[in-house]
């Protein structure tokens, strides 16, 4: 085990509460932190969940709600390079050139992850994660009687243009080869399954084994309530430093400090701020996303993604969520709200009722999704005694949250899926 540098500026002279055997601090109260805390709590750990901004203040609130078990292909791919000019021109991908330098380690490893052997390795791991994601969610939600928040009747990927049928057939073959169940629907079949779609949609792929959450924010709030009801503590404070010595000392921005037997870092895109002083530097950046949320009387009954427009419409309990755009701007960059105009234009073309609706946009949002260069999360032992990691799930954070929490718990108990954990370890970047 690597030891943290005791010379780091941690207020170790502050009086520290004596840690109890089995005490755990989970840092970050997004969906990853919540599922982690609940799994640990179920096994008898005494868990404190720490987040300065409260429950689901970031991407866990604003995500598309799609349980995307079909997304088994790494983002880092040679196909992305070929499409790059089109995606930038279309406005579905944005890149702030200053980020190329400030995040240069990430982008270098992102490029090297496109090599066929590395892409294939990531693809195989994603397949395993996706295969277990929905069952893990069903186990967790059934345990807490929250299954009403998850719809499991699949989603559509729609195609436009004269080559729509060709593209759909090619995509279906690729998914089938990867073990993802889907079938091609004609224009008429697509319209029957999803009345209200624009006639510009020529055909679609129907994924039968995916689903969506009817409100990511509500899901997080109910999970947090279940955690509190079972005796868990939620502490509104910012962790400023960690020190591995006789347990793990946690220093907070309020000046308070405490020791825990274990600490789990689930702090998303900003995780390197905590980890770098410990000698852990991950190739991690922010994959910024945007959404519009509109109250509509007529909305689809299942999530609808667009192959051509690289966006998704998800029906939720309080309206239609319109999500799209991948922006690499660097961690902590301010959002560029001009992107929402293009997102709105694409959404209206796909769902004409949006152009006719008289209501106002109830929410506009932007948030940072934590992305690791090889398209895989980091889950498991940090290499620093007592400190564990569960982060970097990119745009699949909601999808993988329940299963990655199970994997982490298994690692902490010493009985995890041995064949999978090395591929998710932070040691893979050594």
pLDDT in single tens digits along all 430 residues of the chain:
343 333 333 334 444 444 566 899 999 999 999 999 999 999 999 999 999 999 999 899 999 999 999 999 999 999 998 999 988 888 889 999 888 888 999 999 999 999 999 999 999 999 999 999 999 999 999 999 999 999 999 999 999 999 999 999 999 999 999 999 999 999 999 999 999 999 999 999 999 999 999 999 999 999 999 999 999 999 999 999 999 988 999 999 999 999 999 999 999 999 999 999 999 999 999 999 999 999 988 899 999 999 999 999 999 999 999 999 899 999 999 999 999 999 999 999 999 999 887 555 678 999 999 999 999 999 999 999 999 999 999 999 999 999 999 999 999 998 866 678 999 999 999 8
Q: Given this model, what pLDDT does residue 10 score?
A: 38
Phi, psi of 267 (to 5 degrees): -100, 15
Q: Given this model, what pLDDT does residue 90 score?
A: 84
The position carrying tokens 């096994």 is 43
Give the span between the Cα atoms of 250 and 232, in whole angstroms.
Answer: 18
Q: Given this model, what pLDDT does residue 16 score?
A: 43
Q: Given this model, what pLDDT does residue 305 score?
A: 98
The two structure tokens encoding residue 289: 């996303």
Domains with residue ranges and CATH for the chain? 23-154+209-429 (3.50.50.60), 155-208 (no CATH)
The position carrying tokens 């947090």 is 224
Q: Given this model, what pLDDT does residue 415 score?
A: 81
The position carrying tokens 């999500």 is 323
Give the span between the Cα atoms of 398 and 210, in whole angstroms.
Answer: 12
CB of 247 closer than 8 Å to CB of 19: yes
Helix/strand/coil for 89: helix
The two structure tokens encoding residue 180: 């993802």
CB of 282 closer than 8 Å to CB of 272: yes
| Nearest of 73, 89, 84 to residue 123 by alpha carbon | 73
User: Sign (positive/negative) of CA torsion 119, 121, 122, 128?
Assistant: positive
CB of 318 closer than 8 Å to CB of 426: no
The position carrying tokens 């729509």 is 164
């Amino acid at each position: 085990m690597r030891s943290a540098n005791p010379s780091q500026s941690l207020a170790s002279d502050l009086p520290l509460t004596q840690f109890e055997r089995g005490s755990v601090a989970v840092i970050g109260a997004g969906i990853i932190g919540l599922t982690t805390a609940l799994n640990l709590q179920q096994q008898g750990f005494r868990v404190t969940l720490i987040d300065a901004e409260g429950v689901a203040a970031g991407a866990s609130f604003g995500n598309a709600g799609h349980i995307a078990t079909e997304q088994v292909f790494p983002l880092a791919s040679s196909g992305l390079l070929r499409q790059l000019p089109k995606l930038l021109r279309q406005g579905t991908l944005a890149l702030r050139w200053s980020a190329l330098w400030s995040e240069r380690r990430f982008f270098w490893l992102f490029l090297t992850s496109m090599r066929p052997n590395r892409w294939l390795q990531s693809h195989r791991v994603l397949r395993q994660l996706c295969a277990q994601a929905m069952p893990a969610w069903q186990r967790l939600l059934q345990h807490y009687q929250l299954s009403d928040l998850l719809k499991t009747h699949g989603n559509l990927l729609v195609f436009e243009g004269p080559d729509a049928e060709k593209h759909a057939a090619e995509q279906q073959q690729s998914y089938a080869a990867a073990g993802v169940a889907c079938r091609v629907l004609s224009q008429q079949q697509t319209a029957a399954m999803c009345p209200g779609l624009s006639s510009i949609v020529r055909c679609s792929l129907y994924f039968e084994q995916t689903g969506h959450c009817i409100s990511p924010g509500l899901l997080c709030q109910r999970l947090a309530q279940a955690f509190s009801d079972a005796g868990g503590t939620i502490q509104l404070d910012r962790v400023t430093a960690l020190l591995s010595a006789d347990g793990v000392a946690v220093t907070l921005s309020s000046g308070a400090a405490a020791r825990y037997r274990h600490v789990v870092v689930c702090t998303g895109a900003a995780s390197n701020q905590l980890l770098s002083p410990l000698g852990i530097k991950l190739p991690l950046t922010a994959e910024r996303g945007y959404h519009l949320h509109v109250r509509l009387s007529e909305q689809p009954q299942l999530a609808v993604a667009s192959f051509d427009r690289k966006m998704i419409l998800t029906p939720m309990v309080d309206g239609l969520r319109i999500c799209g755009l991948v922006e690499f701007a660097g961690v902590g960059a301010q959002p560029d709200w001009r992107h929402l105009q293009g997102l709105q234009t694409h959404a209206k073309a796909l769902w004409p009722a949006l152009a006719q609706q008289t209501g106002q946009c109830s929410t506009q949002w932007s948030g940072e999704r934590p992305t690791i260069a090889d398209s895989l999360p980091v889950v498991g032992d940090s290499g620093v005694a007592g400190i564990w990691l569960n982060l970097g799930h990119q745009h699949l954070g909601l999808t993988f949250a329940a299963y990655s929490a199970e994997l982490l718990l298994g690692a902490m108990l010493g009985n995890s899926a041995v064949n999978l954990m090395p591929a998710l370890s932070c040691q893979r970047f050594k």
